[in-house]
Amino acid sequence: MVNKMGLIFTLVGVISLALATLGSPYPKAKQEDGVHTKCTQPGMFSLTFDDGPLPGRTEAVLDVLKEANVTATFFVCGQTYSDLHSVEGQATVRRIIAEGHQIGIHTWSHPYLADPWRSVEEVTNEVKSVADKLLEITGNRIPIMRPPYGAYNDSVLDIVRGELGLEVIMWNVNTLDWSHPGDTAAAIENYKIETSGSHPSVDSFIALHHDPLPGSSELAVEAIRFMISAGYRFVTVGECIGL
């Protein structure tokens, strides 16, 4: 059942993201937005994963991270591929924390928050419901959030940053793994393009992956190799932005 549901949500996610971004690229976060797209210090690299947990695939990614002895950040949903009410979903979250990684908020049901008709109450509930559940599971308040599809507007920022006091995290390396799940070579090519000409003495990066997708653990292996060979130091998002 989990595999079937995972497949369904993979297809829904791919279709939704394609529709959301058709003819309109991800918003370019400006420094004055107070939205984080890179780390505060050069030489840092933050590996991030969205949309999970999905027991099985998230576990495989965690195995890779453990073997490589690097930390990452997982922006989790309340109910997409898995359910934070479930024993399996909560166990995966606890393992993420226990192994030194960081948890972030990615809303309850993965909606496009920047829709102009979406109410303040709906945006607030989508974020706060995950925050409250993660507090229950981990015993800690979660300080970081990433909007689904990277979509935000002034209203979303007012709610997430102003009312809820969360840091909004974007990225400056997009693997586009959602558009070619399982194609590790294509994702690594995006790494090469988006880090071209960079150097750890002056640059830093936050990379976007999706742990529930097919091939997510294989991509993690190659991404780790690539960024280590480029001379970058792996950090959680909290370390990256100086929390």
Give the active site residue among 106, 209, 210, 211.
Answer: 210
Residue pair 217/64 in contact by the 8 Å Cβ criterion: yes
Q: What are the distances in angstroms from CA 39 to CA 19, 156, 243?
A: 30, 22, 11
Q: Which two tokens stand for residue 117?
A: 């008709």
| Structure-token match 């399982």, residue found | 182
Sort residue 100 into left (φ over 0), alpha (ψ -120 to 50) or beta.
left
From 50, 51, 203, 211, the catalytic residue: 50
For this structure, is 85 an active site residue? no
Question: Minimal CA–CA distance to 234: which of 46, 38, 39?
Answer: 46
d(CA 37, CA 219): 21
Distance CA 220, CA 20 (A): 26
Q: Which residues pair with 167 in a beta bridge?
A: 144
Torsion of CA 118, 10, 69, 236, to 10 degrees: -10
Active site (annotated) includes residue 63: no
- Beta strand segments in the chain, E: 44-50, 73-76, 102-105, 144-145, 167-168, 173-174, 205-210, 233-234
- Asked, as a colleague might, if the bond just before 143 is cis with ω within 30 of 0, I would say no
Structure tokens at 39: 């780390």
Catalytic residues: 50, 210
